Amino acid sequence: MKHTKVIMDKDFQVSRIDRRIYGSFIEHLGRAVYQGIYQPGSPFADEQGFRKDTLELVKELNVPVVRYPGGNFVSGYKWEDGVGPKEDRPKRIDLAWSVVETNEVGLNEFSDWAKKANTDVMMAINLGTRGVAEAMELLEYCNLDQGTHYSELRKQHGYPEPHNIKLWCLGNEMDGPWQIGHKTAEEYGRLANETAKVLKGIDPTIELVACGSSNSGMATFGQWEATVLEHCYDSVDYISLHTYYGDGDHDSETFLANNVDMDRFITDVANICDYVKAKKHSKKTVNLSFDEWNVWYHSWDHDQKLERWTQAPHQLEDVYDFQDALLVGSMLITLLRHADRVKIACLAQLVNVIAPIMTSDTACWRQTTYYPFWLTGKYGQGIVLQTQVDSPKYKNKKFGEVDFVDCVTVYNDEADELVIFAVNKDLQESNTISLDLRQFADYRIIEHVVLHDEDLYAVNTEKDPMRVAPTTSADSKIENGTLTAVLKHKSWNMIRLGKA
């Protein structure tokens, strides 16, 4: 059996975790909104038409923030179409996804849904087809109390209290040639700065996210961030990162190594932020919002063949397998290891569309990826400790030699728990990790939770919703102040230690 040595120390800390790294995303896309969170007439619908079964799973996930309404969708969206009496709302073409948007759900309904889901809204602004004026009007509608045109309009629409949305995205993926209203870094940087200035003038309590690169492979990556931040460094709080990984080649070893790219991407963007900071002699630090991340590839072929201009089709409905859950687990470990710079992250997305939660007319169930996301969010609270991992390595086609074992330790000072998250990417062999417990010597094992399946391609479906689900392991022990735990081959693990 292989062996991995893990070293941590309570006094060597990366950062306190910002809970918003466990955020998610709902776009007007496919069946995310319509049939996913909203389905009037369904036996699961509440008095507003929101699906209660979906709400229960979203509440279980306890996502602190949900980005809305897009995504590519937002770059052609008129928010005014989705407010006021439903019978007056226009049906529009959504050019981003070649479908029809009915506007039955808009920002007021979504805010109601967010309250029911115990989450906050992270609102994205259209900077594709629209500009400074419309962004100002939207913020006035959402956050101003009363006495102005748009705040009074919100009241007329039945919302006397402001929504008080604190987190705003200045557009979406504006570096991407596919984006409606795509811009150069110069064009976008200036627009982001001018928009940011007036938005903070209207409500100085908000935080703003500027668009970074759509992924680390973009030809403009690096230069884009530097140029955009040259323009808007002083007026924004975060820069975004997006990434999706796939296994089109059926090469699991390479697929599971993709979080190496995520790790480098984060380091590079943080360095660019600090380069602009130094150049500007600024005291302010711009942090990172990884506001779209996931696996996405299973639905590509299906979606190429979709008929245009239908309403809420089955679109981007990836059915996630067990190996996707392993990579999602590793990506969460990567985000935690960078908790000093990544303050917001959104698993893209939340329901039906590349999502941990799926719905049909008759049920709602958890995909494989639900489990690492749920358990990391639930128990990965408190302070990330610097975690030295001395793991055996393997070679793969894209990243050269990488560690078999990804690992991070988190000290939850409120619950007085030490939590270890680890993924063993070895497809054949188990790996024993040993961890010198140092200041945690009097702790005991509360539980060792494992997600493992012999079949990398096993999936959860409506008929078999628990095919891939966590179990507990008895294969860990503490002896002479050292934790020894067996990580099964191809497995995600969470080991909780406490004084109980």
Q: In this chain, which stretch among 43-51, 70-78, 389-397, 491-499 interacts with ligand AHR, using CB under 6 A?
A: 70-78
Q: Token pair of 388, please?
A: 């030295």
Least distance to ligand AHR, CB of residue 174, Å? 10
Q: Dihedral of CA 472/245/357/419: which sign? A: positive
Q: In this chain, which stretch among 64-72, 224-232, 262-270, 437-445 interacts with ligand AHR, using CB under 6 A?
A: 64-72
Least distance to ligand AHR, CB of residue 462, Å? 23
60 is catalytic: no
Least distance to ligand AHR, CB of residue 489, Å? 32
Output Rg (C-alpha) for the chain, integer angstroms. Answer: 23
| Of residues 288 and 423, the one with the C-beta less far from ligand AHR | 288
Least distance to ligand AHR, CB of residue 300, Å? 12
Least distance to ligand AHR, CB of residue 204, Å? 28
292 is catalytic: yes
Between CA 29 and CA 119 the distance in angstroms is 20
Q: Which residues make beta-bridge pairs with 16?
A: 383
Query: 3-state DSSP call for residue 175?
Result: coil
| Of residues 72 and 491, the one with the C-beta less far from ligand AHR | 72
Residue-by-residue DSSP string for 131-161: -HHHHHHHHHHHH--SSSHHHHHHHHTT--S
Residues in 166-195 at the binding interface with ligand AHR, rule: CB under 6 A: 172-173
E-strand spans in 334-425? 342-348, 357-359, 364-366, 383-385, 388-390, 393-396, 400-403, 405-412, 417-424
Query: Interface mask (CB under 6 A) for ligand AHR, residues 379-418, using x and -?
Result: ----------------------------------------
Q: Which residues make beta-bridge pairs with 99?
A: 94, 310
Q: Which residues make beta-bridge pairs with 472?
A: 449
| Of residues 176 and 382, the one with the C-beta less far from ligand AHR | 176
| Of residues 173 and 225, the one with the C-beta less far from ligand AHR | 173
Q: In this chain, which stretch among 6-14, 68-76, 185-193, 302-310 interacts with ligand AHR, using CB under 6 A?
A: 68-76
The binder of ligand AHR chosen from 70, 128, 313, 380 (CB under 6 A): 70
Count of positions on this chain that bind ligand AHR (CB under 6 A): 9
Query: 3-state DSSP call for residue 267?
Result: helix
E-strand spans in 17-114? 23-25, 65-68, 92-94, 99-101
| Of residues 185 and 418, the one with the C-beta less far from ligand AHR | 185
Q: Residue 243, interface with ligand AHR (CB under 6 A)?
A: no
Q: Residue 289, interface with ligand AHR (CB under 6 A)?
A: no
Q: Residue 66, interface with ligand AHR (CB under 6 A)?
A: no
Q: What b/e string do you get for 183-218 counting C-beta neighbours within 10 Å, with b at 16 or more?
A: bebeebbbbbbbbbeebbeebeebbbbbbbbbbbeb
Find the catalytic residue in 173, 225, 317, 417: 173
Find the catalytic residue in 137, 140, 292, 317: 292
Preceding omega of 381 cis (within 30 degrees of 0): no
Q: Residue 292, interface with ligand AHR (CB under 6 A)?
A: yes
Dihedral in degrees, nearest 10, Cα atoms 489, 492, 495, 496: -170
Alpha helices in 293-452 (DSSP H): 300-304, 322-337, 370-379
Q: Residue 453, interface with ligand AHR (CB under 6 A)?
A: no
Element (H, E) at 239: strand 238-245
| Of residues 76 and 470, the one with the C-beta less far from ligand AHR | 76
Do 56 and 97 contact (CB within 8 A), yes or no? no
Degrees, nearest 5: CA angle 50-55-58: 140
| Of residues 178 and 309, the one with the C-beta less far from ligand AHR | 178
| Of residues 27 and 109, the one with the C-beta less far from ligand AHR | 27
Least distance to ligand AHR, CB of residue 31, Å? 13
Dihedral in degrees, nearest 10, Cα atoms 148, 153, 154, 155: 90
Q: Residue 27, interface with ligand AHR (CB under 6 A)?
A: yes
Do 366 and 356 contact (CB within 8 A), yes or no? yes
Do 382 and 21 contact (CB within 8 A), yes or no? no
Q: Residue 72, interface with ligand AHR (CB under 6 A)?
A: yes
Least distance to ligand AHR, CB of residue 468, Å? 23
Q: Residue 473, interface with ligand AHR (CB under 6 A)?
A: no
Measured from each CB, the residue nearest to ligand AHR is 71
Q: Which residues make beta-bridge pairs with 244?
A: 294
Residues in 321-360 at the binding interface with ligand AHR, rule: CB under 6 A: 348-349
The binder of ligand AHR chosen from 23, 69, 71, 76 (CB under 6 A): 71
| Of residues 54 and 240, the one with the C-beta less far from ligand AHR | 240
Least distance to ligand AHR, CB of residue 343, Å? 19
Catalytic residue set? 173, 292
Residues in contact with ligand AHR by the rule CB under 6 A: 27, 70-72, 172-173, 292, 348-349
